[in-house]
Amino acid sequence: MPTKRTNNGLTSTNRGHSSKTTSGASAGVKPAAAAAAVQRALRGLSAGAATGADRATAELTERAASEGLLDIAYASLELPVGRVLVASSPRGLLRVSFPNHSADEVLAELAASVSPRILEAPERLDSVRRELDEYFSGKRTDFDLALDWRLTKGFRRRVLRATARIPYGETVTYADVARSAGSPRGYRAAGSALGANPIPLVVPCHRVLRAGGALGGYGGGLDVKERLLSLEGAR
């Protein structure tokens, strides 16, 4: 049975903002050098020994995390809207990037704005993969993922928190979201915030439309926005 939202409007709530710190690097080892060594080891794994490679990857990832060398884990997921890059930190889901954005550029931005300690670690994104699979198969109407909001701040963060509370299958206008974020006349700024949403799909900016029902914009492309609204029965 699909899970259901318990909140029916844009009511105030905080979710998934707990944080967890990672330990420092081992004594005498420079973090950047150690992280680079782990990355080189991962790239050197033999593609012909899948089971052994998976085990070695998991072990190296755990080693990096235990030594304070893993701040961001990422994975590429094959979804009905294409190959999507997802990244998480110990705080929660940090980034979701659609196929029309360069994965290398997204990772470079994360390295510059959050931390260069990034590893491809699909097993650390298993819950994200599972919930997104359930969403696209119609088995999930709400996400239970912790979120890391650090890529947003101020009014933009308030807009996205309001957007995260829009129920599955419902739509609101840019003005509605701006009002909920505390700026009734800030619908243009709200549109800008939604266009820069770092966690689309999970923070459902596709549910925000122009007054009159026009689609407006969408970072993943209007065809994706239309598809998501149709999946939820909102179009």
For every residue of 184-217, DSSP letters joined together read TT-HHHHHHHHHT-SSTTTS-GGGEE-TTS----
142 is catalytic: no
- Write the CB contacts of 10 (distance below 8 Å, at least 6 apart in sequence): 162, 165, 166, 172, 176, 177, 180
The DSSP output letter for 123 is: G
Whole-angstrom Cα distance, residue 163 to residue 181?
9
Among residues 69, 128, 203, 205, which one is catalytic?
Answer: 205
A 10 A CB-CB count for 186 gives 20
Whole-angstrom Cα distance, residue 164 to residue 16?
11
Q: Which two tokens stand for residue 192?
A: 């800008």
The DSSP output letter for 4 is: -
Question: Residues with catalytic annotation?
Answer: 205
